[in-house]
Amino acid sequence: NAGVTQTPKFQVLKTGQSMTLQCAQDMNHNSMYWYRQDPGMGLRLIYYSASEGTTDKGEVPNGYNVSRLNKREFSLRLESAAPSQTSVYFCASSEKFDRGLRNTEAFFGQGTRLTVV
Amino acid sequence: AQSVTQLDSHVSVSEGTPVLLRCNYSSSYSPSLFWYVQHPNKGLQLLLKYTSAATLVKGINGFEAEFKKSETSFHLTKPSAHMSDAAEYFCVVPTNNAGNMLTFGGGTRLMVKP
């Protein structure tokens, strides 16, 4: 039982390059989320998918796109990377949708450390 | 605005001795509070959460935390440390009433000596 798996774990991009962060969960969860974690800023919600077939913007969606490929997979794409997108990215999933994660337990991947130079 | 301060960046204990990881929060309302743990090369895992019910919250792996409003604290404790408890621990509070952002503390790295 792997839980939430993110790939890659580390990535360095040049400004303007594109890439896709992959996330898969094997817990049959309905909801999936993408967060970024920056020093002093906490964890901020980029996009979420409350259920298969739906996606919505979170607090910091600019510069990103997402695809809920199926119930298991939720990818995050950077079309033209910028240094401001240097961050640690976490994917999470939960049984029920809860934007603030107050009333449902979320399971997180191990994170992707992205550096844009 | 909500904020959370973890008072120790590193804590070292011997196996079998008690664990205390300290967290103070700042909030203009009675918040939800969480403790997450991250083992090396693993994702964040919820240890326990406080949501205005009992002030003493029991979590997984023998951990518990007590919400003390008068002290604005939510310290994490365990009576007897195990080697497998070595990890980084994060105290977390929702950033606002809408609950659409989470504020993580700076983290406390727990080391357990044999």
CB contact under 8 A, A3 and B46: no
What pLDDT is attached to residue B99? 55
The tens-digit pLDDT sequence of chain A (117 residues) is: 568 899 998 999 999 999 999 999 999 999 999 999 887 666 788 999 999 999 999 989 999 999 999 999 999 999 999 999 999 999 999 888 877 776 677 888 888 999 999
- Quick check: A42 contacting B, CB < 8 Å? yes
> In this structure, are residues A104 and A98 in contact, taking their beta carbons and an 8 Å threshold?
yes
* Residue from B35, B90, B91, B100 to probe the interface with A (highest A Cβ count within 10 Å): B100
CA angle, residues A18, A22, A23, in degrees to nearest 5:
150
Residues B85-114 have pLDDT tens digits of: 999 899 988 766 655 566 778 789 999 999
> In this structure, are residues A23 and A73 in contact, taking their beta carbons and an 8 Å threshold?
yes
CB contact under 8 A, B45 and A42: no
What pLDDT is attached to residue A40? 62
What pLDDT is attached to residue B44? 79
- A85 phi and psi, to 5 degrees? -95, 5
CA angle, residues A30, A104, B19, in degrees to nearest 5:
130
What pLDDT is attached to residue A14? 95
The closest of A99, A101, A110, A87 to A25, measured between CA atoms, is A110
